[in-house]
Structure 1
């Protein structure tokens, strides 16, 4: 076997590694290296983690600490058949110690090493939480009702639709799908929402579940990165008529049963089901709501007619018998007294 002389120690060697014998080579050889201290940034409110300039949701801090250390771990380029074991230790809520145990073959010789780093957690509010804290919003949803005062029940239902849809959008990745503020007003409610996109989606959801329509009105708010930034006001109008309303349309007295994307009602005389669009029902004349009903005495029912005692004048009024009306003279029934006459209600 041909031998060579190590130029560093003068000993004979079978082979030189980086121009020295294996003994000299391994005296200065380092299998692995890592920085003693590293940092990661975590939002204290939502636990989002900042990675490469982007806030990432849903990751565990310990997993991120290990990944951060692994990315910075240097293993010598000559290493082969590498085996790596990691041991994370949570020292405090703000410090992790990550220890690596490494084994590999270097020039056919087994080598082992261990290195350790400290991961320090820095707390800093993410963009979304900063905006929420600052009351940031891009969309204003003005909830009103067409031609009438909005009810408290409608306000609550619309609020439920808004919260559920913002939650859905956030889970799909829209970090600006949050409610910044809301105002309860006599004429309705105003909702201030983080993004225009989320506000538009919420408006569509309200129309789908409660009916109505909305319009958009943008206003220049500022500039960012050379681009105009707009705030958009969404004027939402719930349907003119709601459940329980009684209207007169084409000579028919109709009680509204459902007023959402379409309007469903019932003819209070024949019992026929009525299906109408909001454009069609907009031509109707409002007569009252079932909550405005009063009690009146049913005098008698004869064939297709009914006689009712006017609750104000006490005069007997004869009307066409409604499909639902039954009973004996002297009983009380709910009625609406309107400009088209007395209307019994189911």
Structure 2
């Protein structure tokens, strides 16, 4: 009787011998093409599966990419980066390929079309294979939901920056807007596309900042008052109902910055002379102009003691020191009359000082104490200007 050879040892397509292959483990599917020789197997093998073309919708305002049913911030430098990312997502490499390497060479055809030349290399059945595919990418532009809401003026919260018995100065208003933009940027970095500044409006009495959510508005108002002092109140207004019948409110956060600012010279009218305001966070804190002693408003007065503003550090001018009389007095030239005048000597004025900064108020002439004269090392004043509390 003749011996019959196992037909699986020969390629059914070309008849060449097929190398022995490991049998699949029990329960694993048997590969249909395992009976083919390497040459016949690789003849029909596709290393990469690529689409005929890729279409990408990009927000013309912020550059977000529409993927599925949502917009995604990709942080791309230009549309070529977007095209590379989208093609990378669309390509699929054969599971049987090992040691896969690939590269892409974009070709800008026109403003809206980028041709991606993709080169792949890998090892299949121990054989090195290469394949090149060309995928055109069509860029179309639209408007994402977020930018659409911004351009449509949509907002849920409004933060109004005002001063107590005064108009906030430009630096305070600018800083308040910076705080809002900074909080939005932090949320954007965490992937929150629902947080944005809709509009900033300059009003005669201050600045209004319109924001996308009530939660964001509360956070902005809180940080402004924590940094600049003051307080805020909330006033909700019913504007509509959502699809489920829930009431939708728009909240106005009225921020009231303190009456006094760091750098103000105030007179508490307590007989101890003017005070240079250092901080308005919590209780107002400062230093006595005449003695250099620390001052803090009573608890019940908080940040707004019963006092009048009599000057500001911006009004200070440099003047000549005539003589240092003793530990408590120094003689300087009055910057207006140029007469020698004896005034209180702050601890910061050295015996050999030649010139000092002085401010003239209704209560008299005072040499400005330098930061630290009040002995309060924990005072939260700005590094750039010892008279300004951020």
Q: In structure 2, do the counterparts of structure 1 residues 266 and 100 end up closer, same or farther at CA, with 3 Å as the change threshold?
A: closer
Whether the 8 Å CA contact 1:211–1:238 is kept in 2: the answer is: yes
Measured in 1, the distance between the counterparts of 2:46 and 2:203 equals 71
Whether the 8 Å CA contact 2:64–2:73 is kept in 1: the answer is: yes
Moved more, 38-47 or 19-28: 19-28
Partner residue, 1:179: 197
Whether the 8 Å CA contact 1:143–1:238 is kept in 2: the answer is: yes
Partner residue, 2:158: 140
Partner residue, 1:314: none
2:178 to 163, 180, 184: 163
Partner residue, 2:87: 69
Measured in 2, the distance between the counterparts of 1:266 and 1:219 equals 43
Structure 2: tracts of 5 or more residues without a match: 20-31, 316-341, 346-358, 367-390
Q: In structure 2, do the counterparts of structure 1 residues 278 and 96 end up closer, same or farther at CA, with 3 Å as the change threshold?
A: farther
Partner residue, 1:214: 232
Whether the 8 Å CA contact 2:59–2:141 is kept in 1: the answer is: yes
Counterpart check, 1:14 vs 2:33: no
Measured in 2, the distance between the counterparts of 1:107 and 1:94 equals 41
Question: For 1:160-203, what per-residue CA distance to the aligned partner results, in whole angstroms no more than 9, with x for missing partners?
Answer: 23225513541452545543223333433322223333333332
Question: For 1:216-272, what per-residue CA distance to the aligned partner results, in whole angstroms no more than 9, with x for missing partners?
Answer: 223333455646543221111111334435343555543342352142344466553
Counterpart check, 1:275 vs 2:296: yes
State the TM-score, normalizing by the size of structure 2: 0.63
Partner residue, 2:310: 289
Q: In structure 2, do the counterparts of structure 1 residues 282 and 159 end up closer, same or farther at CA, with 3 Å as the change threshold?
A: closer
Measured in 2, the distance between the counterparts of 1:290 and 1:27 equals 90
Q: Secondary structure at the match of 1:280?
A: coil
Q: Secondary structure at the match of 2:134?
A: strand
Q: In structure 2, do the counterparts of structure 1 residues 128 and 19 end up closer, same or farther at CA, with 3 Å as the change threshold?
A: closer
Measured in 1, the distance between the counterparts of 2:285 and 2:84 equals 60
Pairwise CA RMSD = 3.9
Q: CA deviation at 1:275?
A: 1.8
Q: Secondary structure at the match of 2:153?
A: coil
Counterpart check, 1:149 vs 2:166: yes
Partner residue, 1:254: 274
Q: Which has the higher strand share?
A: 1
Q: CA deviation at 1:36?
A: 1.1
Q: CA deviation at 1:38?
A: 0.8
Q: Secondary structure at the match of 1:12?
A: coil
Q: Secondary structure at the match of 2:301?
A: helix
Whether the 8 Å CA contact 2:120–2:132 is kept in 1: the answer is: yes
Give aligned pairs, total.
302
1:122 to 131, 140, 145: 140
Q: CA deviation at 1:214?
A: 0.9
Query: 1:36-47 residue pairs with structure 2 within 5 A?
Result: 36-47=52-63
Partner residue, 2:337: none
2:213 to 195, 204, 214: 195
2:119 to 96, 101, 120: 101
Q: Secondary structure at the match of 1:241?
A: coil
Partner residue, 1:244: 264
Partner residue, 2:73: 56
Q: In structure 2, do the counterparts of structure 1 residues 89 and 228 end up closer, same or farther at CA, with 3 Å as the change threshold?
A: farther
Q: Secondary structure at the match of 1:149?
A: coil
Q: Secondary structure at the match of 1:58?
A: coil
Structure 1: tracts of 5 or more residues without a match: 294-320, 325-332, 337-342
Query: 1:296-335 residue pairs with structure 2 within 5 A?
Result: 323=344, 334=360
Measured in 2, the distance between the counterparts of 1:19 and 1:255 equals 92
Question: For 1:60-108, what per-residue CA distance to the aligned partner results, in whole angstroms no more than 9, with x for missing partners?
Answer: 4434322322332233444344343333222233222222223344445
Q: Secondary structure at the match of 2:285?
A: strand
Q: Secondary structure at the match of 1:216?
A: strand
